[in-house]
């Protein structure tokens, strides 16, 4: 009862109610919320602090910026979403907020498009070396299967494509990436697709800000070759898996395209089954048969594995 009353008191103030309504539409920084509400940053920050303390909003840092989104795990998350659903659609102040929110999202989209166009040629060059993406995604989804997933993690999410692919299948999905520019691209794509159950965070794949045994399914999709210590990345991925949780690694089979190291910053020129299986088994994973998709000159491999209940 006390917690419910605390939540109601926190949300029962006009500015704080507007903040929760805005954060139900996506992740927003303090500066963006200040711009939308037309209030001072200290005042907005004080309201946000109260909402976070009440469990109605989640707060996370991304470089120098701090972002907020409506809570999805706290005991007060249901209260926050229920109140937002009860808001009248004809309210003029809320509608003005949403119009300003659209302006913020358009600005983000412009930034994302600029970064994407600057790097599209580089990404396209690599895609041309292996099987078509549609075929790779089809085989990847076969490996994932059709069972619903509660908590999903895409490590090194890049443009957020894997989050998009699995959004309908997962209850909650997080994409982790160290690059602010890539996070801008991914966040914009997810917002444009109106996917509210998946989101992105800044984080290091060697030391992820995620609790032990909290993830049902994790993926490393064409990211492990950027690592200078793949064994540590796999160990960290296994750490966050629940017992019987799955890890699916997608990457290149061993190759000799040295220019990918020089021109595209690949640390490793692919992997063979023995080393991937060795790293997985050392972490207590039950390895499943890999799948190979031969391209010219790169072959993509999919290595699935399941965390055993004891190891």
- Cβ atoms of 240 and 218 within 8 Å: the answer is yes
Helix (H, G, I), strand (E, B) or coil at 8: helix
Tell me the pLDDT band of 296, cut-offs 50, 70 and 90. Answer: confident
Identify the CATH homologous superfamily for domain 129-307. Answer: Vaccinia Virus protein VP39 (3.40.50.150)
% of residues, the chain, pLDDT over 70: 94
**Does the pLDDT at position 263 exceed 80?**
no
CATH 1.10.10.10 residue ranges in the chain? 2-102
**Three-class SS string for 183-249?**
HHHHHHHHHHCCCCCEEEEECECCECCCCCCCEEEEEEECCHHHCCCHHHHHHHHHHCEEEEEEEEE
CATH architecture of 2-102: Orthogonal Bundle (1.10)
pLDDT in tens, 212-241: 999 999 999 999 998 888 999 999 999 999
pLDDT at 180: 86
Lowest-confidence segment of 70-79, 121-130, 157-166, 292-301 by average pLDDT = 121-130
Query: What mean pLDDT value characterizes the chain?
Result: 89
pLDDT greater than 80 at residue 19: yes
Name which residue leads in pLDDT, 79 or 118. Answer: 79
Percentage of residues of the chain with pLDDT beyond 90? 59
User: What is the rounded average pLDDT of the residues 92-109?
Assistant: 89
- C-alpha angle with apex 122: 104 to 301, nearest 5 degrees? 105
Mean pLDDT for 97-114 is: 84
Give the tens place of pLDDT for each residue, 36-62.
Answer: 999 999 999 999 999 999 999 999 887
Look at residue 148 and tell me whether its pLDDT is greater than 90: yes
Q: Compute how many other C-beta atoms are within 10 angstroms of the C-beta atom of residue 35.
A: 18
Supply the DSSP string of 125-168, one letter for each residue: HHHTTSS-HHHHHHHHHHHH-SS-EEEEEEET-TTSHHHHHHTT
311 — pLDDT class (breaks 50, 70, 90): very low
Give the tens place of pLDDT for each residue, 205-214. 999 999 999 9
Q: Give me 226's structure tokens.
A: 């950027």
158-197 pLDDT tens trace: 889 999 999 999 999 999 998 888 888 889 889 889 898 9
pTM of the model: 0.79
**Is residue 274 scored above 70 in pLDDT?**
yes
Residues 6+ apart with CB under 8 A from 283: 234, 235, 238, 307, 311
Q: Which has more pLDDT, 129 or 239?
A: 239
- 178 touches 233 (CB < 8 A): no
- Of 131-140, 231-240, 253-262, 270-279, the poorest mean pLDDT is in 253-262
Residues of the chain with CATH 3.40.50.150: 129-307
Please give the residue that has the higher pLDDT: either 90 or 240.
240
Confidence (pLDDT) at 124: 58
Determine the Cα–Cα distance for residues 118 and 141; give it in Å rounded to an integer. Answer: 29
């Amino acid at each position: 009862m006390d917690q419910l009353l605390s939540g109601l008191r926190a949300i029962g103030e006009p500015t704080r109610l507007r903040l929760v309504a805005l954060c139900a539409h996506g992740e927003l920084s303090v500066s963006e919320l200040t711009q939308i509400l037309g209030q001072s940053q200290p005042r907005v920050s004080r309201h946000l602090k109260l909402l976070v303390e009440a469990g109605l909003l989640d707060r996370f840092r991304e470089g120098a910026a701090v972002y907020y989104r409506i809570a999805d795990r706290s005991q007060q998350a249901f209260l926050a979403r229920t109140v937002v659903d009860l808001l009248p659609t004809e309210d003029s102040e809320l509608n003005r907020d949403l119009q300003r929110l659209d302006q913020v999202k358009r600005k983000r989209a412009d930034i994302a498009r600029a970064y994407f166009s600057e790097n599209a040629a580089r990404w396209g060059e690599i895609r041309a070396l292996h099987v078509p993406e549609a075929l790779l995604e089809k085989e990847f989804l076969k490996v994932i299967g059709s069972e619903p997933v509660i908590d999903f993690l895409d490590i090194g999410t890049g443009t957020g494509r894997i989050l998009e692919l699995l959004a309908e299948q997962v209850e909650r999905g997080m994409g982790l990436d160290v690059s602010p520019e890539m996070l801008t691209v991914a966040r914009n794509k997810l917002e444009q697709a109106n996917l509210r159950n998946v989101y992105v965070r800044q984080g290091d794949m060697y030391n992820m800000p995620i609790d032990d045994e909290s993830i049902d399914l994790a993926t490393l999709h064409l990211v492990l070759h950027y690592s200078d210590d793949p064994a540590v990345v796999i160990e960290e991925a296994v750490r966050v898996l629940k017992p019987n949780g799955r890890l699916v690694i997608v990457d290149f089979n061993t190759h000799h395209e040295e220019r990918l190291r020089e021109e595209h910053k690949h640390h490793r020129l692919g992997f063979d089954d023995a080393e991937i299986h060795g790293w997985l088994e050392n972490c207590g994973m039950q390895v499943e048969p890999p799948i190979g998709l031969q391209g010219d000159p790169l072959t993509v491999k999919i290595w699935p594995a399941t965390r055993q209940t004891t190891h």
